[in-house]
């Protein structure tokens, strides 16, 4: 085997492996550091083989007397899960009216939804803040639920539209000719085909809500702070705290990593608003 | 203002049922509205939650209004815009936003393309490598920024200087020496997987017959890439660039976490945040916000065109 054929057959695979490892290294290092003691986490050269401990995690969960992350984690869960449910509740009927039984000019409506996604968060942040301050909505998790719903609704409508469009019209018509009424058609014909897509859409909406910082930072304080806001407490250095930072970052990223890997195949479709299959 | 709209879905769901019970010859107007009904809650919700606050921003942008002196509020026409465009700090943040967005989008597109080409080939462990490559995108953005700031960039015991130590390299203070580059690199790390996924989807939608035919006709790998793959990928490259721009123009997390907007890294979203949250200059912040929107509209016009052409292509294929 000559060098050039080796490179063509095996070499590029090796390059790909190398690239994968380089990109993954920071994440792997974060995971490793989170299991080190604070003194082993802050060495130069790095201590790869230092003994492992759960101290970083104990510290993060408040054993060292710091603030407990549980309220923030619960707030994030509420904001992400409830807003995702609201998105489904609003997006499913809308996508139905845009694909299975389309209204007139349905493409215009679809593009209106998309255009709202292009309106930056800062476009409405100040009025929302003033509104919240003058009502009971400042530091209130339900305001975030509403905003996250609006943030994810366009993505969900686009994705659901593309999933519902995959349901063949002929099958629906055949079912109707056989006397099936709409609820039956929806549960027996449409749902089985569209369900994997709906699941992927939910996971993507969950990820975006869980990650969001700007709204949460401005509109919440103590009571309703979310996990990303909790993390901003680590921005300024506080002595030796690398293991704790890594443990915190990893724990808070775990739901996103899990949801992302679960939705891997549909991730592109969601991120490209359904434009890429 | 929004609670009533969130409560509306149930009736909307029940309307199509009522509609199905009607005979096909039901009065036209009722029928049209029955078709539209499932759409309305989502549409009304979006208009109320996204468009109304923007209109309010637009109105506030014409007022000289510092929240600490509410009595001194007055109408100034385009005074805030003039101030935003002449204030050296704010002008610098416009430039920073452009530099940050362009650098991150271009670099992550180029690296993403290379990775997509590598992953488009068959090799052992391809699925695992793909998973490893997606991971950076699935770290919560604030957590990723903290990871770069404290664990990788730290001048004394960060991993980067730790690795440099092995080869006897210098020990720079990354964030202080090259603040904007430091922010950019952390964002490129997070966004390259996004570009890779879009471009990989593009590569896999090429027609294998066409490539096989070109190969039979004696085209080399470079010729196939240059004349078949690249033209096919053009739309996907555009889509990646535009969606990436939309997300990165708005970036707040990385700037806020890595440098807190210091050292010349304040981009427009951070400046808007700081102008009203810390300086309480409501009018000025709104004017800057409106400028961000105008910039986004320019990008969005192109983005919508690309998406709609891909969309029509899909529709005609299906």
For residue A202, what pLDDT band results from cuts at 50, 70 and 90? very high
For residue B23, what pLDDT band results from cuts at 50, 70 and 90? very low
Cis peptide before B35 (omega within 30 of 0): no
**Chain A interface includes B53 (CB < 8 A):** yes
* CA-wise closest residue to A271 among B246, B12, B152: B246
State mean pLDDT over B306-314.
Answer: 74
- Residues of B within 8 A of A127 (CB-CB) are 52-53, 56-57, 60
Size of interface A-B (CB pairs under 8 A): 339
State mean pLDDT over A211-232.
Answer: 92
Tens of pLDDT, residue by residue over B47-74, are 999 889 899 898 988 988 887 777 777 8
Say how many Å lie between the first and final Cα of chain B, rounded.
41
- Percent of chain A past pLDDT 70, that is, above it, reads 95
The single-letter DSSP state of residue A68 is -
For residue B315, what pLDDT band results from cuts at 50, 70 and 90? low
State mean pLDDT over A250-261.
Answer: 93
Q: pLDDT value at position A227?
A: 94
* pLDDT value at B240 more than 60: yes
- Identify which of B142, B310, B311 has the shortest CB distance to residue A213: B142
* pLDDT value at B5 more than 60: no
* pLDDT value at B166 more than 50: yes
Q: pLDDT value at position B14?
A: 36
Q: How far apart are CA A264 and CA A262, in angstroms?
A: 6
* pLDDT value at B10 more than 90: no
Q: What is the mean pLDDT of chain B?
A: 84
For residue A108, what pLDDT band results from cuts at 50, 70 and 90? confident
Matching residue, tokens 């730790």: B162
The single-letter DSSP state of residue A11 is I
ipTM, two decimals: 0.90
Nearest CA of chain A to the CA of B208: how many Å?
A: 17
Q: pLDDT value at position B8?
A: 34
For residue A2, what pLDDT band results from cuts at 50, 70 and 90? low
Tens of pLDDT, residue by residue over A171-190, are 888 888 888 888 888 888 88
Q: Are B197 and A271 in contact (CB under 8 A)?
A: yes
**Chain A interface includes B187 (CB < 8 A):** no
User: A202 versus B301: which is more confidently predicted?
Assistant: A202
Q: Are B112 and B190 in contact (CB under 8 A)?
A: no
Tens of pLDDT, residue by residue over B100-109, are 999 999 999 9
* pLDDT value at B15 more than 50: no
Rounded to whole angstroms, the maximal C-alpha distance in chain B is: 84
Q: According to the 3-state scheme, what is the secondary structure of chain B?
A: CCHHHHCCHHHHHHHHHHHHHCCCCCCHHHHHHHHHHHHHHHHHHHHHHHHHHHHHHHHHCCEECECCCHHHCEECCCHHHHHHHHCHHHHHHHHHHHHHHHHHHHHHHHHHHHHHHHHCCCCCCHHHHHHHHHHHHHCCHHHHHHHHHHHHCCCCCCHHHHHHHHCCCCCCCHHHHCHHHHHHHHHHHHHHHHHHHHHHHHHHCCCHHHHHHHHHCCCCHHHHHHHHHHHHHHHHHHHHHHHHHHHHHCCCHHHHHHCCCCCCCCCHHHHHHHHHHCCCEHHHHHHHHHHHHHHHHHHHHHHHHHHHHHHHHHHHHC
Task: Find which of B1, B10, B46 to mutate to test the A interface (most A CBs within 10 Å of its CB).
Answer: B46
- Identify which of B3, B45, B272 has the shortest CB distance to residue A90: B45
Q: pLDDT value at position A3?
A: 67
State mean pLDDT over A148-163.
Answer: 89
Q: pLDDT value at position A237?
A: 75
Q: pLDDT value at position B13?
A: 36
- Residues of B within 8 A of A257 (CB-CB) are 135, 138-139
For residue A102, the tally of other CB atoms under 10 A from its CB is 17
Q: pLDDT value at position A6?
A: 66
Instruction: Flag if B256 and A103 touch (Cβ within 8 Å).
Output: no
Tens of pLDDT, residue by residue over B30-45, are 888 888 888 899 999 9
Nearest CA of chain B to the CA of A276: how many Å?
A: 7
Q: pLDDT value at position A9?
A: 67
Q: Which of A30-34, B84-88, B183-187, B190-194 has the lowest mean pLDDT?
A: B84-88
* pLDDT value at B3 more than 60: no
Nearest CA of chain A to the CA of B251: how many Å?
A: 9
Q: pLDDT value at position B193?
A: 94
Q: pLDDT value at position A66?
A: 76
Q: What is the mean pLDDT of chain A?
A: 87
User: B252 versus B17: which is more confidently predicted?
Assistant: B252
Tens of pLDDT, residue by residue over A29-44, are 999 999 998 888 888 8
């Amino acid at each position: 085997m000559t060098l050039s054929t080796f490179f063509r057959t095996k070499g590029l695979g090796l390059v790909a492996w190398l690239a994968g490892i380089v990109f993954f290294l920071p994440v792997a290092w974060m995971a490793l550091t989170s299991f080190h003691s604070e003194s082993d986490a802050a060495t130069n050269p790095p201590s790869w083989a230092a003994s492992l401990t759960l101290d970083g995690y104990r510290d993060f969960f408040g054993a060292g007397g710091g603030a407990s992350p549980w309220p923030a984690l619960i707030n994030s869960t509420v904001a992400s899960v409830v807003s995702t449910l609201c998105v489904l509740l609003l997006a499913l009927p809308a996508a139905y009216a845009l694909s299975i039984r389309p209204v007139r000019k349905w493409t215009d409506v679809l593009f209106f939804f998309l255009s709202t996604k292009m309106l930056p968060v800062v476009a409405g942040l100040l009025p929302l803040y003033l509104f919240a301050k003058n009502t009971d909505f400042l530091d209130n998790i339900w305001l975030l639920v509403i905003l996250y719903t609006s943030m994810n609704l366009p993505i969900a409508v686009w994705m659901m539209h593309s999933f519902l469009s995959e349901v063949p019209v002929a099958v629906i018509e055949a079912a109707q000719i056989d006397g099936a009424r709409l609820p039956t058609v929806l549960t027996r014909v449409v749902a089985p085909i569209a369900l994997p897509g709906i699941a992927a859409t939910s996971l993507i909406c969950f990820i975006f809500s869980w990650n969001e910082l700007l709204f949460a930072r401005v509109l919440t304080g103590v009571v309703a702070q979310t996990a990303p806001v909790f993390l901003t407490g680590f921005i300024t250095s506080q002595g030796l705290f690398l293991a704790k930072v890594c443990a915190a970052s990893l724990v808070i990223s775990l739901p996103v990593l899990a949801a992302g890997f679960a939705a891997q195949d549909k991730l592109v479709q969601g991120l490209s608003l359904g434009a890429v299959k | 203002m929004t609670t009533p709209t969130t409560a509306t879905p149930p009736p909307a769901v029940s309307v199509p049922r009522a509609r199905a019970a009607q005979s096909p010859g039901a009065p036209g107007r009722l029928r049209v509205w029955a078709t539209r009904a499932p759409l309305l809650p989502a549409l009304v919700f979006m208009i109320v939650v996204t468009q109304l606050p923007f209109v309010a921003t637009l109105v506030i942008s014409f007022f000289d209004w510092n929240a600490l002196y509410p009595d001194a509020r007055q109408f100034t026409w385009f005074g805030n815009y003039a101030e935003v465009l002449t204030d050296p700090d704010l002008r610098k943040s416009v430039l920073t936003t452009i530099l940050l967005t362009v650098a991150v989008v271009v670099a992550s597109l180029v690296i993403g393309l290379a990775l997509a080409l590598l992953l488009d080939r068959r090799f052992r462990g391809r699925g695992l490598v793909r998973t490893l490559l997606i991971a950076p995108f699935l770290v919560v953005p604030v957590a990723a920024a903290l990871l770069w700031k404290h664990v990788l960039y730290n001048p004394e015991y960060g991993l980067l200087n730790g690795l440099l130590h092995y080869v006897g390299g210098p020990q720079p203070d990354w964030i202080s020496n090259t603040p904007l580059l430091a922010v950019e690199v952390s964002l490129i790390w997070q966004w390259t997987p996004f570009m890779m996924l879009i471009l990989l989807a593009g590569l896999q939608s090429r027609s294998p017959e066409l490539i096989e035919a070109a190969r039979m006709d004696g085209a080399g790998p470079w010729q196939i890439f240059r004349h078949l793959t690249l033209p096919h990928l053009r739309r996907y490259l555009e889509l990646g660039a535009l969606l990436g721009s939309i997300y990165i123009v708005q970036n707040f997390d990385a700037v806020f976490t890595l440098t807190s907007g210091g050292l010349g890294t304040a981009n427009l979203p951070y400046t808007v945040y700081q102008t009203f949250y810390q300086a309480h200059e409501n009018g000025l912040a709104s004017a800057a916000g409106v400028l961000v929107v105008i910039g986004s509209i320019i990008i969005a016009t192109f983005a919508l065109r690309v998406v709609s052409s891909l969309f029509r292509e899909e529709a005609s294929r299906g």
